[in-house]
Amino acid sequence: MPEAPEIAATYTGEVASSKRERGDRAHGPRRLFRGRVLFLLPAVIYLLALFAYPIVYDILLSVRQSSVITFVHNTGGFVGLTNYRMAVTNPLLPGVVWNTAIFMVGSIVMQFSIGFLIALFFTRRFPLSGFLRSLILVPWLLPGVVTGIILRMMFDPNIGMVNQVLSNLGLIHSPIEWFANTHLALLVIVLANIWIGIPFNMLLLHGGLQDIPNELYEAARVDGAGRLRTFRSITLPVMRPVIAVVLVLGFIYTLKAFDIVMIMTGGGPMNGTQLLSTWAYTLSFYNLDFGQGAAVGTIMMVISLVCAFAYVRTYRGELRS
């Protein structure tokens, strides 16, 4: 039989082990919570520093009197909605809104239409389809500054290849000054933005088309439905949520288009290509009216949020499912 000291030691060890287990069970949720917090902390810091702080600062700047001196010393007084009123009553606003509307409608409609056609084309399997699909993504992957410089050189009236091609085809007899005419300059930046946005639309729409079950198309063929009827009755209804996402993202991305326009035209000539995004920059860094520029930026942000909120409200059921 074990002696009394051995029994006491065994009992003491069992009691200590039981306490440690109870302590581990008690501290387990706390450790798990701390681990989750530590994992989320970098993302939270990133969002606060690069998203929340600029948005809050922009809103505060839009309701203060901001000049170069007050901006540097942070001494601008509160002026309420004065900057918004000045922006709304600015004589340049109607032209800027009109340019933005033309730019957005032309870009979104053509990006979506051409992107959808290319996506439908790539649903077929043929040699080098993957390579060609990857090649189409190049305009979207290039930095906007690089794209702007390349396209500006292409439309240059003296050395640009566009004028040379048109001249060789006999369509023009003298170089076209693309950036000297307000209508032509606006057309050029719309074409440039269409070229940039087609790959993005194609990529999302192609992904949506791949998720449509082949059984639906086979059933339609058995019923004798043609291509147009199949597209109208199967493809479009199934693709509706994807199409909505593409259009909403296209709206937001086109509204905030900035680099391509600034590189190619700078908003000129005579504000003929001035958009809301470039106008906000011009007010802030050319006119040094930071408050009014921040007000225009805040208005753009509100427009984007309203568009996103409308999408979520409309497709809440699809998003939950």
Site of tokens 């339609």: 220
Q: What is the pLDDT of residues 112-142, one digit of tens each?
A: 999 999 999 988 887 877 888 888 888 888 8
Q: Which pLDDT score, from 0 to 100, does residue 319 have?
A: 52
141 and 272 share one domain: yes
Within-domain flag for 79? no
Query: CATH number of the domain that 253 lies in?
Result: 1.10.3720.10
Q: What are the CB-based long-range contacts (under 8 Å, 24+) for 239-243? A: 239/205, 239/208, 239/209, 239/212, 241/315, 241/318, 242/204, 242/205, 242/207, 242/208, 243/112, 243/205, 243/208
Q: What is the pLDDT of residues 59-82, one digit of tens each?
A: 988 888 877 777 666 667 888 889
Within-domain flag for 67? no
- How many structural domains comprise the chain? 2
119 and 43 share one domain: no
Helix 290-314 to helix 53-62 angle (10° resolution) is: 120
Please give the C-alpha separations between residue 318 and each of 127, 225, 245, 313, in angstroms, as whole numbers: 35, 27, 11, 10
223 and 285 share one domain: yes
Please give the C-alpha separations between residue 229 and each of 173, 217, 237, 268, in angstroms, as whole numbers: 46, 11, 12, 46
Residue numbers of the domain that contains 11: 4-62
> DSSP secondary-structure letter at 76?
P
Residue-wise pLDDT tens for the chain (321 aa)? 455 555 544 545 554 555 555 555 555 677 777 878 888 889 889 988 888 898 998 898 888 887 777 766 666 788 888 999 999 999 999 999 999 999 999 999 999 999 999 999 988 887 877 888 888 888 888 888 899 999 999 999 888 899 999 999 988 888 999 999 999 999 999 999 999 999 999 999 998 898 888 888 888 888 888 888 888 888 888 888 889 889 999 999 999 999 999 999 999 899 999 999 999 999 988 988 888 999 999 999 999 888 888 877 777 665 555
Phi (first) and psi of residue 100, to 5 degrees: -65, -40
Domain termination residue (choose one: 13, 28, 62): 62
CB 139 within 8 A of CB 180: no
174 and 37 share one domain: no
Backbone Cα Rg of the chain = 30
